[in-house]
């Protein structure tokens, strides 16, 4: 038995499982392992310091897999924005066929990618943003529920409502994201109207994830309550693992008159990278989602994906079918 959807057909993959782009994590080792296991691996463009570094990382990934993989471009609100047109050019000129975009005002990028024949997945946290992205011409929507790591938006709508609400109005295929880490999550996502799943935190706790073993064990040892919402006061809400650093960010942000400059040193991306590379959770933020409460091991990507598919197929063919009288 296999699960075939519009997502598997459009992306040319065996299983409807996509590894989301994650800063400092979406490198060739992980993306290739996910793709080799039948999912879609994704490199994170901004993890690479320059567009030329991204070109080299794409080529490095090609030495590890002959399966489809994509590149994530996250559009960050920044006074000193990265050279997005140059990263975009590197992606196109490298012959990448699938790109995942996220963030605000992606139209310029979507139009250019589409003009060059790329399949565009766009991550959204609301139905209205999904509809806007479809009007821009994206091919697949990744709809992120409130449970997700990273930026869940400001509406606080969990996947159980958000996924079917989007499915009612969006006519392109959808990936469900946020709170999904096993076969049960895949079956639920399909039942709610998605045609595949996008996982981030779950792929961090795999053998091939290029982060410190201590961080992987931190995820395994954390439960579903052990996250913090930060930056809400500044309308850029983020979900991160509950650590001394994120606790301090929450404490400072709650003080009357607090401004972003008060927490800037704690939320710096370079400090988060240090935490991931050294395993020191007191160095910087560790971005994890509520799904960590469902993560109990550190498998290879092949073991993870094959296990998800095996469990999903058993749930559909046996448990659910057995309830029909």
The pLDDT tens digits for 92-150 are: 999 999 999 999 889 999 999 999 999 999 999 999 999 999 999 999 999 999 999 99
Say how far apart CA 45 and CA 300 lie, in whole Å. 23
Q: In terms of DSSP H, where are the helices of the chain?
A: 6-11, 28-36, 51-62, 84-93, 107-115, 127-136, 159-167, 183-192, 201-204, 213-220, 244-253, 260-267, 269-278, 301-314, 321-323
Domain coordinates in residue numbering, the chain: 6-208+300-323, 213-290
6-208+300-323 CATH fold: TIM Barrel (3.20.20)
CB 41 within 8 Å of CB 290: no
Over its length of 325 residues, how does the chain's per-residue pLDDT go in tens digits? 689 999 999 999 999 999 999 999 999 999 999 999 999 999 999 999 999 999 999 999 999 999 999 999 999 876 688 999 999 999 999 999 999 999 988 999 999 999 999 999 999 999 999 999 999 999 999 999 999 999 999 999 999 999 999 999 999 999 999 999 999 999 999 999 999 999 999 999 999 999 999 999 999 999 999 999 999 999 999 999 999 999 999 999 999 999 999 999 999 999 999 999 999 999 999 999 999 999 999 999 999 999 999 999 999 998 988 898 7
């Amino acid at each position: 038995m296999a699960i075939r959807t519009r997502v598997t057909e459009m992306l040319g993959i065996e299983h409807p499982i996509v590894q989301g782009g994650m800063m400092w994590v979406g490198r060739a080792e992980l993306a290739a392992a996910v793709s080799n296991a039948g999912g879609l691996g994704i490199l994170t463009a901004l993890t690479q310091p320059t567009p030329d570094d991204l070109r080299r990382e794409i080529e490095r990934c090609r030495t590890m897999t002959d399966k489809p993989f994509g590149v994530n471009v996250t559009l960050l609100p920044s006074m000193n924005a990265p050279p997005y047109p140059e990263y975009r050019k590197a992606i196109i000129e490298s012959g990448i066929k699938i790109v995942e975009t996220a963030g605000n005002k992606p139209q310029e990028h979507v139009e250019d990618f589409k003009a060059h024949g790329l399949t565009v997945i766009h991550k959204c946290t609301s139905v209205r943003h999904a509809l806007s992205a479809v009007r821009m011409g994206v091919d697949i929507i990744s709809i992120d529920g409130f449970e997700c790591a990273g930026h869940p938006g400001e509406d606080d709508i969990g996947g159980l409502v958000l996924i079917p609400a989007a499915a009612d109005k969006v006519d392109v295929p959808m990936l469900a994201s946020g709170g999904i880490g096993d076969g049960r999550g895949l079956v639920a996502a399909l039942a709610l109207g998605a045609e595949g799943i996008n996982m981030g935190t779950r792929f961090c706790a795999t053998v091939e994830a290029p982060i410190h073993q201590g961080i992987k064990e931190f995820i395994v040892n954390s439960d579903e309550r052990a996250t913090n919402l930060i930056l809400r006061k500044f309308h850029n809400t983020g979900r991160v693992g509950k650590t001394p650093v994120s606790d301090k960010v929450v404490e400072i942000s709650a003080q009357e008159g607090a401004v972003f400059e008060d927490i800037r040193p704690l939320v710096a991306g370079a400090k988060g990278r240090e935490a991931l590379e050294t395993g020191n959770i007191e160095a910087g933020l560790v971005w994890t989602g509520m799904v960590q409460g469902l993560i109990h091991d550190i498998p290879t990507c092949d073991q993870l994906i094959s296990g998800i598919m095996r469990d999903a197929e058993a749930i559909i063919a046996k448990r659910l079918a057995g309830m029909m009288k």
